[in-house]
Structure 1
Amino acid sequence: MSSFVLLPEPRSVSETDGAFTITTGTRIVTDRPELGDYLASVLRPATGFELAVSTGAAAEGDIVLEINPAIEGVEVGNAAEAYRITVDRRTIVIDAPADAGIFAGIQTLRQLLPAQIDAPAHAAGEVAAVTIVDAPRFAYRGVMLDISRHFFGVDTIMRVVDQIAAFKFNHLHLHLSDDQGWRIEVPGWPELTRAGAATQVGGGEGGFLTTTDYEQIVHYAASRFITVIPEIDLPGHTNAALVAYPELAPAGVTPEPYHGIDVGFSTLDTDSERVFGFIDDVVGHLASVTPGPYLHIGGDESHSTQPEDYRRFIARATRIAAAHGKLPIGWHEIGSSDDLAEGTIGQYWGSIAPEAGAAEQARSIVRQGGQLILSPANAVYLDIMPEPNFRIGQEWTGSPTPLGGVATWNPATLISGVDESVILGIEAALWTETVETSADIDTLLFPRLLAVADLAWADAVNDVESRVQDLLPRLAAAGIAYGPA
């Protein structure tokens, strides 16, 4: 029986006799110094050892990180993040075709060590002899954090980055604007962060990210091989923007700051050229400070926008994003337009038993040449309560989503007529109407997020509930205030 539990589950695990022990003399040998420094930063607090990062020839007792473009067996899946770990009594070697694969292998190595490795406990570091060859099923494995309903700043967001990186998520989607607050600085539009950022659900002072804050988050995430995706929700979910600039509202609308949680009541004036100039400025600024390929334009729950106006607006908004060099992403409602910019990606947030309209909108996006990100709300919306009458969370999906309900669907068959080849990946979402603290984030994300990680990475989900249970001590050692398991 294995002495370790791995999640996400690797493609291939072959155990042999013996173990490698990290000692005072262990070095990390690599010509990828940033990766070596990262691994050392993970291991030093728990082991108490120096773990010098060195170049040159490896010796017995060392941990080796190296690029190897031709690892047998990693041609399957998404090879950019493929890796191999080889552990015997003499060395640990993590090799991969690219740096992202080495980073993924480091996360697996962490799980091969005792749970206390994630705490400053000076634990002995013994790793069972094993060979693991692995690559992810989906290229996109994401987590969305809503900082609009309640605002969360740089430190909290970077903490989430570290948490999700440990389970091989590689995208962080930041929901930066909504009815309750505008959360990102935009040059030339100062009222967005003076008036538009001053509210949140239930009142309170709100807040926003400066451009420097946002760039710090993007840089930090990139050091963990995580791509940041900014979202400005349009044309609905825009009350905060309209409070800041009432001239963007339809004629006769006088917006007031909003502290509630209802949706669908706001809309931009879709006939106004000033509105499109505003969108061009916002999208252009975000594109300039976001090195990743994606920019999310929202598009959901625009109930106050006339259907024809909505379709015309979305087509133009996707083209604005594309003109700034980004692949547009929008919630699946954007598929009601048949004139999306080339390559526009849809994010499906309907049920795991799709309603006909939502499924057809998703298929429309695919027919127009786009791909899909899957975020079925009654499975991977982690703001939904994990059990009845839980102290935080919502139940608008009709019932709670316990750990056992997260991975009970097959991405390949979720939407009829959509082949797995056009599924970019899976994203868990945390909306923050009821989430006020970093501990609240922990409690709703974990441990259910581990099941999402398995679904997004592994070819098939096996015994996920029992494997998550086995990893709870690791969450506790990392200081994660996880919820019901």
Structure 2
Amino acid sequence: MTATDRATVDLLDLIPRPAEVAHHDGRFVVDAQTVIRANRDGEHTARALAAALEPACGYQLRVGSLADSAPAKRIDLRLGVIAGGDEAYELTITSKGVEAVANATAGLVLACQTLRQLLPAAALGGGKVGAAWSLPCLTIRDRPAFAWRGMMLDLARHFMPVGFIERMIDLLALYKMNRLHLHLTDSQAWTMEIAAYPRLTQANHLAPAGQPARGTYAQRELRALVAYAAERNVVLVPEIEFPCHSDAALDAYPELLCVNHPARVGGPMDHKEYCAGRDDVVDFVRTVLREVTAVFPSPWIHIGGDEYYGTAWERCPDCQRRLRDEHLEDEDTPELRALFANAQGSPSKHLLYRSFMRRIAAEVVALGRAPILWDDLSWRGTFPPGSALMQWHYRGLFDWMQKAFTPEDPAADAAHAGHAAIAAPASHLYFDYFHGAALLRRLYAFDPLPADLDPARAPLILG
């Protein structure tokens, strides 16, 4: 894009900035005579646009078919063939009307969000305004730079009602973000109804005084949210945490702990983590994942994998048997021993951790989905087959769990190993670390593509 083109784009209050913009003379006025037209594939998107514009206009625009005779003033949503993928679109506004063309419905949804953003800010407030609005005449050709444009909600630590999540989906869609990562389980609470294990959510009404309220999402509520998000080109990605961050599940089903864990047999308390040695624990995980995947059609299932201790594993006969039977010590290396020498918990915890997470990841793959894991120093490029990595460390970060500095960019490490990665480094994308202008500066300065990544591997950085 030329400097002139960049300046042209900057004149528009659009987030994110479109790839190409050309301005034309004139404006198009949206009024009660304007008709939104689409074929059957785009009809739902047309009706959603009419509903979104109704508060601003004070009336709902009529929705018609592209086969109808052309009205004097129209907004046409049309599937066609343009450069780019499913989310690419071309938006043309003249004094007589608007035409959006895309390869797929997803592109039409994004074109409609651009159309909404081109209206004055007052038109997006949600309250009844009741006015005729005008749009600048222009042509926009746009396509996303990254396939994954997402945000995470921690619903286990901060339970939110369904209406709040719907509002978040609406805002993500407005800014063309297309993934909402739902952190559904943690030590504080397990928030998703699992029919096979009802005790997982039974304690959610017993939040200690002074702590955030807890709650449970029924599977029917989550299915409704999935559908609500899909209409707005947003995929809900569930996260179920293993092996740590799991007190809520292990309090409900302590038999999933190691057989000699203090919570089962008494003694000094230890960190609660799933037993990494027993097959019946994987049976539990398999059953849970079957219910999760039945609710969430997302191609990705996040299985956690961060901040574990492994001290109970050292004393557990089942874990030690697996360590021997799978010859896991043969996987150890001088580099791994150095990285985990001063770690909190067991200095050899990474061996059983890798074995356990590989088995959990295999269960996700067997269900026809791709597992996502938080990055961890243990992998060193040997990630579970078919998995994607979600980066939260970054080069030079002091890992407080392992008491070692992160030696590389984890997303680049995954991409070099041929695995997909999603960049979410705490240095830039953890909203509770920075505030105000400092947060915005860091957000806008962040480029998900690692500077040292081979360009041929760039497509593996999903976003």
TM-score band by shorter chain is 0.7 to 0.9
Does structure 1 residue 423 correspond to structure 2 residue 454? no
1:359 alignment partner, SS class: coil
Q: Given the alignment, which residue of 38, 53, 78 partners 1:43?
A: 53
User: Residue deviations 1:21-42, cap 9 Å, x none?
Assistant: 0111111011121001110011
Deviates more, 1:285-294 or 1:96-105: 285-294
Instruction: Decide whether the 8 Å contact of 1:28 with 1:64 is kept in 2.
Output: yes
Q: Give the Cα separation in 1 of the matches to 2:291 and 2:201.
A: 14
1:376 corresponds to which of 404, 414, 425: 425
3-state SS of the aligned residue for 1:65?
A: strand
RMSD: 2.4
Q: What displacement does 1:409 show? A: 3.0
CA distance in 2, matches of 1:278, 1:337: 28
Percent identical across equivalent pairs? 33
SS at 1:127's partner residue? Answer: strand
Is the CA contact (8 Å cut-off) linking 1:6 and 1:111 kept in structure 2? Answer: yes
Alignment correspondent of 1:94: 100
Structure 2 counterpart of 1:325: 368
Q: Which residue of 1 aligns with 2:124?
A: 118
Counterparts of 1:26-425 in structure 2, within 5 Å, are: 26-31=34-39, 32-55=42-65, 56-57=67-68, 58-69=70-81, 71=82, 74-75=83-84, 79-119=85-125, 120-195=128-203, 198-199=206-207, 202-203=210-211, 205-250=213-258, 251-254=260-263, 265-304=271-310, 306-333=349-376, 336=379, 340-351=383-394, 357=406, 359=408, 362-363=411-412, 365-386=414-435, 401-414=438-451, 416=453, 419-425=457-463
Report the residue type matching 1:331 in the other structure.
W
Instruction: Tell me the matched-pair count.
Output: 399
Q: CA deviation at 1:371?
A: 0.6
1:18 is matched with which residue?
26
Paired residues of 1:315 and 1:339 also in contact (CA < 8 A):
no
In 2, Cα distance between equivalents of 1:369 and 1:151: 36
Q: Mean alpha-carbon deviation: is it higher for 5-14 or for 350-359?
A: 350-359
Retained in 2: the 8 A contact 1:336–1:364?
no
The aligned amino acid for 1:52 is R
TM-score of the superposed pair, with normalisation by structure 1: 0.77
1:81 is paired with a residue of what secondary structure? coil
1:154 deviates by: 1.2
Offset of 1:64 from its aligned partner?
0.6
Q: Which amino acid aligns with 2:72?
A: E
CA contact (8 A) 1:221 1:228 kept: yes
The structure, 1 or 2, with the larger RCO (C-alpha pairs under 8 Å, 6+ apart) is 1
* Post-superposition offset of 1:367: 4.8
- Cα distance in 2 for partners of 1:415, 1:265 equals 38
The one-character-per-residue Cα deviations of 1:239-261 (angstroms, maximum 9, x if unpaired) are 11111111112222328xxxxxx
Aligned partners of 1:169 and 1:274: how far apart in 2?
A: 39
Moved more, 373-382 or 194-203: 194-203
User: 5 Å matches for 1:397-476?
Assistant: 401-414=438-451, 416=453, 419-425=457-463
139-148 or 409-418, which moves further after superposition? 409-418
Structure showing greater radius of gyration is: 2
Residue in 1 that maps onto 2:320: none
Q: Could you say if the C-alpha distance between residues 412 and 205 of structure 1 is closer, same or farther in structure 2, counting changes exceeding 3 Å?
A: closer
Task: Please say if residues 379 and 401 of structure 1, whose CA atoms lie closer than 8 Å, have aligned partners that are also in contact.
Answer: no
**CA deviations over 1:328-383 (Å, ceiling 9, x no partner):** 00101186276644320000111375676363654553355311100011211112
Instruction: Work out the CA distance in 1 between the residues paired with 2:249 and 2:198.
Output: 11
Unaligned stretches of 5+ residues in structure 2: 1-7, 265-269, 312-348, 399-404
Letter in 2 for 1:237: H
Rounded Cα–Cα distance in structure 1 between residues aligned with 2:413 and 2:137 = 49
